[in-house]
Structure formats: C-alpha cells, structure tokens
Amino acid sequence: MTTHLRVSAVTVGYEMFHEQRRTVPDSPDELLAEYRNDLAAAVEDYGPEAAANDTDVDREAIDQLLEGDLPDLSLEEAAQLQALDERAPDAATIVDIGCEHLLLGMSTAVLDVDALETELAIEMDAKEIQQKIEQRAPMTFGEYVHIQYAIADNAP
C-alpha cells in the first residue's frame, strides 16, 4: 500500500485532479475512501452549510460525506467541493485537468480504451470510457476514480 505525506487535507485533496496520479493503494475502494476523506476535510474546513449553499451538492449528500459515507457525486460535484479551497482552481478547471491527466496516464501506461475496459472493476464499455474521459458524456466521481485507479495501477 502506498503511503502519502499529507501537507493538509485540503491541499492534498484538490490535487486528486490537479496532479497526475502515479501510485494507488491496493484497491479502487481504498482510493475512493482516501478521496472521501479529502472531500470531507474540504467541506469541514469550508463549513457544511456554506458548502451546500455554494455548490450543487445538496445538504444530505454533504452530511453523508461528513458521516464517513461517499454519496453518489458527479465528477463536477466532487470538483466543486475541492474548489471550495481558495488555493484550488475553479471546479471546471479541476475537471478539465483531471480528464487530461487520465488521457496522459493512458499514454504513460500504454492503454487504449479497449485495454482500459478490461482493467476496470466496474462495467463500462470502451466507447463509454472514451466519451466520459473526453467529457462528451457525464461521469460520476466513482467512475472517475475507477478509471484513474486502473490507469495508475497499470503504469510502469
């Protein structure tokens, strides 16, 4: 299992999109848990009520996040939570950078969408993967993390 140095929860949190992921823990679920903790820290630092008011994430989902669950979030909603930190880019930029890093990671790992389809722990076909990475179809945060995990896990 990879250990990460934590400067602060919020600083590390938004970098889930801002920097290319080169290492991953032992499973996609562990990566989701890591990100859930980062999202919860961002919300706690900003304030749950303010986060609900300043993002598209409803208060019930924010409460679930603070209780240790990961609600069903879109990639855009997760980026909005990360963008609450004044040091983070805006949510649209976070999404753009995150998807660009997926494409870059695919090049590094020498994976095309057909190969990536076989590596995913969730059901998605190659066309769907490509559309989501290219932002031509909506992507959930869970799908993003599964794709990111498969790419980083196969990188040299």
Concatenate the DSSP letters of all residues of the chain into one string. ------S-HHHHHHHHHHS------SSHHHHHHHHHHHHHHHHHHH-HHHHHHHSS--HHHHHHHHTT-----BHHHHHHHHTTSTTSPPHHHHHHHHHHHHHHHHHHHT--HHHHHHH-SS---HHHHHHHHTTSS--BHHHHHHHHHHHHHH--
Residue 32: per-residue pLDDT: 92
pLDDT one-digit tens code per residue, 76-119: 999 999 999 888 899 999 999 999 999 999 999 999 999 999 99
pLDDT one-digit tens code per residue, 84-95: 988 889 999 999
Name which residue leads in pLDDT, 7 or 152.
152
Q: State yes or no: pLDDT of 133 exceeds 60.
A: yes
Comparing 4-8, 19-23, 70-74, 91-95, the range with the smallest average pLDDT is 4-8
Q: What is the pTM of this model?
A: 0.87
Q: Kindly state the average pLDDT of the residues 1-16.
A: 37
pLDDT one-digit tens code per residue, 32-73: 999 999 899 999 999 999 999 999 999 999 999 999 999 999
Residue 13: per-residue pLDDT: 43
Average pLDDT, the chain: 88
Residue 85: per-residue pLDDT: 86
Residue 15: per-residue pLDDT: 53
